């Protein structure tokens, strides 16, 4: 088979390799090298004698010694891979259904949002009863993937241009032809972004599942290393998990590009869909309330029926009625409610503080990225790496560096917030129409002035889009951190109730935490809509 | 930090660490897990099916050979290390097979509660912490406590030898790390020693010894068989005292099973077989701690990257807690009326109102009907 490269016989392998590396990666590499150097220096200067942060050289040595945890990696990737596939297949099915039955679109999206808002770390022990050890990890991975992919596919399937559709119709094509011939192809850029972004999410889900126990797996190895005080190994496993997540993400993007796609990560990062078609009439506002009500009803019905079908013991499997009675009707419901709400208050405080910090950092970061394209090339790969960090693997490490108190929780909530906000706001800043920028230049507006006066305006909807996703994300991150490291908040309440076999508290906490996240998602989402319609008008 | 921490590899590579068991044992386990998977498929249909599925083979267990082995599972509350030395030895020595059982070991982890797994029938027997198991029963879990691995709980307070906490009174004014798991125990321990909770600062820690080594905390509630050994081996000398020696006597790592399975003749027989394997396994572990540690490090817990010396020292430390004058005369795992009474009293201090009726030696009585294992 003849290759185009034949025409350049003198190009060395290295040169060809370099040429095949997308632009900006060299800067990215340089940025990462600087970071590593700083780390090595820090361990020598800031943390000497402490057992918290081992120098990277030592971490790398352990990593090589342990053979990169291949058997563990295989297990985790198998769980994550199956979860990723199942989650994406379900997402495609839902997205296609939403396309054919537009009236269901909102409800299906809310159903997805609910799966996103439920703290998987807390429902893992419950899924285990239904699914068994292996399937539980797959299920948690699938759950972690579903919403990200759903939004990506829904956005993508709607992205078809009318001309292509008209062509199909002109040739007598039905809706199915339309779907197969035009829409699926048009969906690829957005969908492939979702496919890529959901890979790290699936790995994170699998690792969360592995905290329930197992013989192999990165999560299992992580717990063991942590417990037996093997600090360098703990870091090594965390880095392997991060690296693999990053590679999975990159590979999927690469495959899509090879297939001729043009993945749009920006628009779906953190799974924010811009409801461009949504009209803000009184009618749709009422619909905004009806949608969640319907999806909640469906969830509650599935929940009640599942318990009935499996005839599970009521000591741990609490029905919707039991949770209602626990919180509102039973003899000590007031005390229960107070305990849950008090814990929730702590969580909300920490999560929102983290959200503020993360958003603030993202705003500054996005401005810098837009103003200084070279910095962008150096930093962006690292930002995406941060996106791939399996939170559960890094939570204990963050706690060790930042302490076990509020700071650790806030840092984790901030990290969860930072990445999607940065990417979305940056793309929002860049979405300002060239004419507007030209006009600003004509009026002699400085680059900074353009940023503040023009670009910021166009980035407002993105800010809300980011918040819609990041607020529930920050809450989930805070819950995870509380579960693992601090002795307060609703995450801690969940962990303590599991240990104390107090499943009433566990179920109630899960329901309340999910509900609050969902409400935030909806409220911010409506702000996003308003901001968008203002921009359009 | 001590050089090379984390890449500790024991000089003493065990005979088991070499190719023979390396190859054969993991393979047989893989088969086991396949079986477990097949069983799980059946299980998805419902708990009733499990009873049918797991009891049917036992009716034919008179016939020898692996085909007649009954498939059952045991749910541990943590990863497969020497905390379950008895289980690992029973697997490796074939004690479960001798009892007509094909046992799948379900390892636990920090986020796992064993009780629902047993109640739902996914495991025939579970190993759990005493307060957690008793609380589950109080909340309506139809379970019985059928044995206790640790006669004396290994729960201890470990501190740095350079800044030792030698008794409960010395905790006052210090910062102590307590995991969620140990919070009820901690509260009870303070109460019994008349220490006001406000006088000790508590940090939540989760399965990590780092905060103690780094001085973020002065003491840590841990397992006598884990944390002190881990820290000593990493070059952080420690001082540790057992909570049991200061007013908080309690059994730990209790075995639980469903009441309905105790009442059913065929599942009861399987439980007796499983507990026979456990008792024999523990005896074998103390007879050869080196092998028990090797099994955890090189075989069953291979992916956990355990440190051999830690595991070896742990088995030796466990012996003093699992065996006692009572087990010498009644057999391992046995719960005398006195231990039960002490345990119930200690649990009550932590707000768990357990009753002696939750504990039963009926299975162990059958296990030891032909002579005790101690």
From the list B47, B113, B180, the residue facing A492 with the nearest CB is: B180
Q: What is the mean pLDDT of residues B351-371?
A: 95
Q: Would you say residue B39 has pLDDT above 80?
A: no
pLDDT computed for residue B46 by the predictor: 38
CA-based torsion, B337, B343, B344, B349: positive or negative: positive
pLDDT in tens, B89-140: 999 999 999 999 999 999 998 889 999 999 999 999 999 999 899 999 999 9
CA distance A240 to chain B (A): 14
Instruction: Find tokens 């820290």 and name the residue.
Output: B231
Q: B37, A134: Cβ pair inside 8 Å?
A: yes
Residues of A in contact with B7 (CB under 8 A): 61-62, 65, 232-233
Closest CA to B254 of B121, B374, B358, B128: B128
Q: What is the mean pLDDT of residues B226-233?
A: 89
Question: B304 with A233: CB under 8 angstroms?
Answer: no
Q: Would you say residue B326 has pLDDT above 50?
A: yes
Mutate to test the interface with A, among B204, B296, B301 (most CBs of A within 10 A): B204
Show which of residues 61-90 on chain B sit within 8 Å of chain A, judged by CB atoms: 76, 78-81
Hey, how many other C-beta atoms are within 10 angstroms of the C-beta on A366?
Answer: 28
pLDDT computed for residue A49 by the predictor: 54
Residues of A in contact with B117 (CB under 8 A): 128-129
Closest CA to A492 of A471, A507, A506, A503: A506
Q: Provide, rounded to the nearest whole percent, the portion of chain A with pLDDT above 70.
A: 81
DSSP bridge pairs for B176: B202, B219
B155-160: strand order across its sheet:
B201-204, B175-178, B219-223, B155-160, B238-242
Q: Which residue has the higher pLDDT, B20 or A496?
A: A496
Residues of A in contact with B40 (CB under 8 A): 131-135
Q: A499, B184: Cβ pair inside 8 Å?
A: yes
Hey, is B254 helix, strand or coil? strand
pLDDT computed for residue B271 by the predictor: 98
CA distance A130 to chain B (A): 7
Q: B6, A230: Cβ pair inside 8 Å?
A: yes
In B179-237, DSSP assigns E strands to: 201-204, 219-223
Hey, how many other C-beta atoms are within 10 angstroms of the C-beta on A342?
Answer: 14
CA distance B207 to chain A (A): 5
What B341-344 contacts at long range (C-beta under 8 Å, 24+ apart), as own/partner pairs, is B342/B249, B342/B250, B343/B130, B343/B249, B343/B250, B343/B251
Q: A400, B210: Cβ pair inside 8 Å?
A: yes
Hey, is A408 helix, strand or coil? helix
pLDDT computed for residue A500 by the predictor: 84
Closest CA to B93 of B256, B287, B267, B303: B287
Alpha helices (H) in A159-281, listed in sequence order: 162-170, 175-177, 184-210, 218-227, 231-258, 265-268
* CA–CA dist B211, B219 (Å, integer): 9
* CA–CA dist A271, A473 (Å, integer): 11
* CA–CA dist B269, B58 (Å, integer): 8
pLDDT computed for residue A289 by the predictor: 61
Alpha helices (H) in A403-455, listed in sequence order: 406-430, 434-442, 447-450
N- to C-terminal Cα distance for chain A? 56
Tokens of A22: 């997308």
Residues of A in contact with B183 (CB under 8 A): 487, 496, 499
B208 reaches A (C-beta below 8 A): yes
Q: A212, B205: Cβ pair inside 8 Å?
A: no
N- to C-terminal Cα distance for chain B? 42
Residue of chain A whose alpha carbon sits nearest to that of B136: A501
At residue B336, what are phi and psi to the nearest 5 degrees? -75, 160
- Can you spell out the DSSP letters for A71-123? HHHHHHHHHHHHHHHHHHHHHHHHHHHHHH-HHHHHHHHHHHHHHHHS-HHHH
From the list A62, A72, A317, the residue facing B6 with the nearest CB is: A62
Q: Between the CA atoms of A348, A350, A356 and A362, what dihedral angle is there, to the nearest 10 degrees?
A: -120
pLDDT in tens, B247-268: 999 999 999 999 999 999 999 9
Under DSSP, the state recorded for B277 is H
Residues of A in contact with B109 (CB under 8 A): 210-214, 219-220, 223
Under DSSP, the state recorded for B180 is G
Hey, is B333 helix, strand or coil? coil
Q: A233, B234: Cβ pair inside 8 Å?
A: no
Q: Would you say residue B9 has pLDDT above 70?
A: no
Residues of A in contact with B203 (CB under 8 A): 404, 487
Hey, how many other C-beta atoms are within 10 angstroms of the C-beta on A436?
Answer: 15
B226 reaches A (C-beta below 8 A): yes
In the predicted model, what is the mean pLDDT of chain B?
83
Q: A501, B113: Cβ pair inside 8 Å?
A: yes
Q: B303, A226: Cβ pair inside 8 Å?
A: no
Q: How many CA atoms lie within 13 A of A200 on its CB side?
A: 28
CA distance A65 to chain B (A): 7
Closest CA to B236 of B253, B256, B220: B220
pLDDT computed for residue A3 by the predictor: 41
Residues of B in contact with A75 (CB under 8 A): 303
B8 reaches A (C-beta below 8 A): yes
Q: Please, what's the b/e burial string for B44-81 (b: 16 or more CB within 10 A of its CB; e: otherwise)?
A: eebbeebbebbbebbeebeeeeeeebbbbbbbbbbbbb
Residue of chain B whose alpha carbon sits nearest to that of A64: B7
Residue of chain B whose alpha carbon sits nearest to that of A136: B40
- The ipTM value here is 0.81
Q: What is the mean pLDDT of residues B29-43?
A: 34
pLDDT in tens, A17-49: 444 445 556 666 776 677 777 777 766 666 555
Cα A50–Cα A54–Cα A56 angle in degrees, nearest 5 = 155
Closest CA to B350 of B181, B225, B228: B181
Residues of A in contact with B207 (CB under 8 A): 223, 226-227
Q: Would you say residue B372 has pLDDT above 80?
A: yes
Cα B164–Cα B168–Cα B174 angle in degrees, nearest 5 = 60
Residue of chain B whose alpha carbon sits nearest to that of A65: B7
Q: B214, A314: Cβ pair inside 8 Å?
A: no
Domains of chain A in sequence order? 68-272 (1.10.3720.10), 320-537 (1.10.3720.10)
Contacts of A536 (CB under 8 A, 6+ apart): none
- Mean pLDDT comparison of A396-410, B179-193, B331-345, highest-scoring range: B331-345
* CA–CA dist A275, A528 (Å, integer): 9
Q: B119, A316: Cβ pair inside 8 Å?
A: yes
The rounded Cα B256 to chain-centroid distance in angstroms is 11
Domains of chain B in sequence order? 15-151+251-367 (3.40.190.10), 155-245 (3.40.190.10)
At residue A134, what are phi and psi to the nearest 5 degrees? -70, -50
Q: H or E stretch including B73?
A: strand B70-75
B116 reaches A (C-beta below 8 A): yes
Q: Between the CA atoms of A286, A292, A296 and A298, what dihedral angle is there, to the nearest 10 degrees?
A: 80
* CA–CA dist B67, B70 (Å, integer): 8
B40 reaches A (C-beta below 8 A): yes
* CA–CA dist A388, A468 (Å, integer): 20
Q: B8, A224: Cβ pair inside 8 Å?
A: no
Can you list the residues of chain A whose pLDDT is less than 50? 1-11, 14-21, 267-283
Under DSSP, the state recorded for B158 is E
CA distance B328 to chain A (A): 32
Q: H or E stretch including A289?
A: helix A282-310
Closest CA to A442 of A452, A430, A431, A454: A454
Query: How far, in Å, are A362, A466, B322 from residue B193 at the CA level?
Result: 51, 52, 25
* CA–CA dist A188, A255 (Å, integer): 12
* CA–CA dist A231, B70 (Å, integer): 42
Q: Which residue has the higher pLDDT, A233 or B292?
A: B292
């Amino acid at each position: 088979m003849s290759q185009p490269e034949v025409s350049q016989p003198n190009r060395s392998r290295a040169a060809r390799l370099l040429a095949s590396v997308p632009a900006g990666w060299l800067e990215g590499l340089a940025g990462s090298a600087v970071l590593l150097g700083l780390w090595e220096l820090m361990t020598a200067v800031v943390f000497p004698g402490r057992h918290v942060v081992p120098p990277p050289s030592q971490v790398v040595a352990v990593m090589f010694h342990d053979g990169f945890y291949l058997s563990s990696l295989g297990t985790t990737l198998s769980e994550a891979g199956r979860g990723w596939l199942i989650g994406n297949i379900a997402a495609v099915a839902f997205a296609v259904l939403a396309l054919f039955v537009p009236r269901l679109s909102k409800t299906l999206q809310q159903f997805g949002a609910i799966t996103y808002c439920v703290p998987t770390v807390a429902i893992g022990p419950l899924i285990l009863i239904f699914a068994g050890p292996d399937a539980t990890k797959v299920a948690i991975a699938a759950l972690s993937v579903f919403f990200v992919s759903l939004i990506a596919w829904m956005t993508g399937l709607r992205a078809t241009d009318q001309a292509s559709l008209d062509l199909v119709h002109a040739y007598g094509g039905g809706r199915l032809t339309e779907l197969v011939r035009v829409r699926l192809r048009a969906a690829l850029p957005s969908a492939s972004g979702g496919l890529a972004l959901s890979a790290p999410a699936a790995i994170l889900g699998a690792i969360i599942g592995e905290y329930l126990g197992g013989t192999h797996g990165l999560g299992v190895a992580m717990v063991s290393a942590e417990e037996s005080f093997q600090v360098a190994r703990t870091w090594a496993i965390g880095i392997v998990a991060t690296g693999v997540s990053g590679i999975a993400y990159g590979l999927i993007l690469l495959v899509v590009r090879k297939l001729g796609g043009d993945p749009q990560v920006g628009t779906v990062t953190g799974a924010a869909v811009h409801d461009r078609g949504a009209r803000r009439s009184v009618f749709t506002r009422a619909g905004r309330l009806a949608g969640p009500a319907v999806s909640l009803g469906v969830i509650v019905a599935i929940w009640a029926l599942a318990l009935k079908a499996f005839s599970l013991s009521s000591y741990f499997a609490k029905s919707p009625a039991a949770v209602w009675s626990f919180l509102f009707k039973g003899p000590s419901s007031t005390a229960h409610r107070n305990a849950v709400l008090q814990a929730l208050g702590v969580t909300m405080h920490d999560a929102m503080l983290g959200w503020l910090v993360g958003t603030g950092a993202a705003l500054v970061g996005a401005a810098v990225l837009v103003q200084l394209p070279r910095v962008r090339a150096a930093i962006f790969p690292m930002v995406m790496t941060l996106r791939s960090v399996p939170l559960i693997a890094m939570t204990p490490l963050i706690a060790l560096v930042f302490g076990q108190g509020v700071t650790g929780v806030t840092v984790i909530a901030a990290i969860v917030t930072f990445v999607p906000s940065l990417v979305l706001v940056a793309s929002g800043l860049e979405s300002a129409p060239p004419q507007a920028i030209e006009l600003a230049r004509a009026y002699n507006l400085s680059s900074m002035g353009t940023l503040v006066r023009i670009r910021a305006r166009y980035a407002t909807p993105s800010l809300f889009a980011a918040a819609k996703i990041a607020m529930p994300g920050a809450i989930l991150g805070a819950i995870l951190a509380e579960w693992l490291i601090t002795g307060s908040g609703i995450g801690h309440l969940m962990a303590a109730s599991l240990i104390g076999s107090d499943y009433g508290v566990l179920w109630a906490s899960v329901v309340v935490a999910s509900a609050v996240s969902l409400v935030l998602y909806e409220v911010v989402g409506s702000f996003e809509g308003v901001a968008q319609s203002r921009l359009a008008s | 930090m001590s050089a090379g921490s984390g890449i500790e590899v024991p000089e003493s590579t065990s005979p088991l660490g070499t190719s023979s068991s390396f190859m054969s044992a993991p393979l047989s386990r893989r088969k086991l897990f396949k079986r477990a998977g097949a069983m799980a498929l059946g299980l998805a249909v419902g708990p009733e099916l499990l009873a049918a599925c797991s009891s049917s083979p036992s009716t034919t267990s008179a016939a020898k050979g692996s085909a007649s082995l009954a498939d059952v599972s045991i749910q541990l509350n943590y990863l497969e290390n020497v905390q379950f030395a008895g289980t690992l030895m029973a697997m490796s020595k074939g004690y479960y097979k001798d009892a007509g059982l094909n046992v799948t070991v379900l390892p636990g982890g920090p986020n796992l509660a064993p009780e629902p797994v047993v109640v739902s029938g996914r495991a025939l027997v579970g190993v759990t912490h005493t307060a957690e198991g008793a609380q589950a029963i109080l909340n309506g879990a139809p379970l019985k406590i059928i044995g206790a691995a640790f006669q004396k709980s290994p729960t201890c307070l470990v501190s740095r030898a350079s800044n030792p906490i030698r008794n409960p009174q010395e905790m006052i004014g210090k910062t102590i790390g307590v995991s969620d798991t140990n919070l009820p125990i901690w509260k009870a321990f303070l109460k019994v020693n008349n220490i006001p909770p406000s006088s000790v600062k508590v940090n939540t820690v989760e399965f990590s010894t780092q905060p103690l080594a780094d001085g973020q905390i002065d003491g840590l509630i841990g397992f006598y068989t884990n944390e002190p050994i881990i820290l000593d081996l990493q070059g952080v000398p420690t001082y540790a005292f057992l909570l049991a020696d200061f007013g908080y006597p309690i059994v730990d790592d209790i075995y639980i099973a469903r009441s309905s399975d105790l009442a059913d003749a065929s599942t009861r027989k399987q439980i007796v077989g499983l507990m026979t394997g456990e008792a024999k396994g523990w005896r074998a572990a103390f007879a050869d701690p080196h092998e028990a540690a090797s099994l955890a490090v090189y075989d069953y817990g291979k992916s956990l990257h355990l440190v051999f010396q830690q595991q070896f020292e742990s088995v030796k430390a466990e012996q003093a807690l699992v065996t006692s004058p009572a087990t010498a005369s009644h057999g391992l795992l046995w719960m005398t009326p006195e231990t039960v009474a002490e345990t119930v009293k200690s649990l009550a201090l932590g707000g768990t109102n357990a009753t002696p009726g939750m504990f039963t030696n009926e299975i162990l009585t059958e296990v030891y009907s032909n002579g005790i294992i101690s």
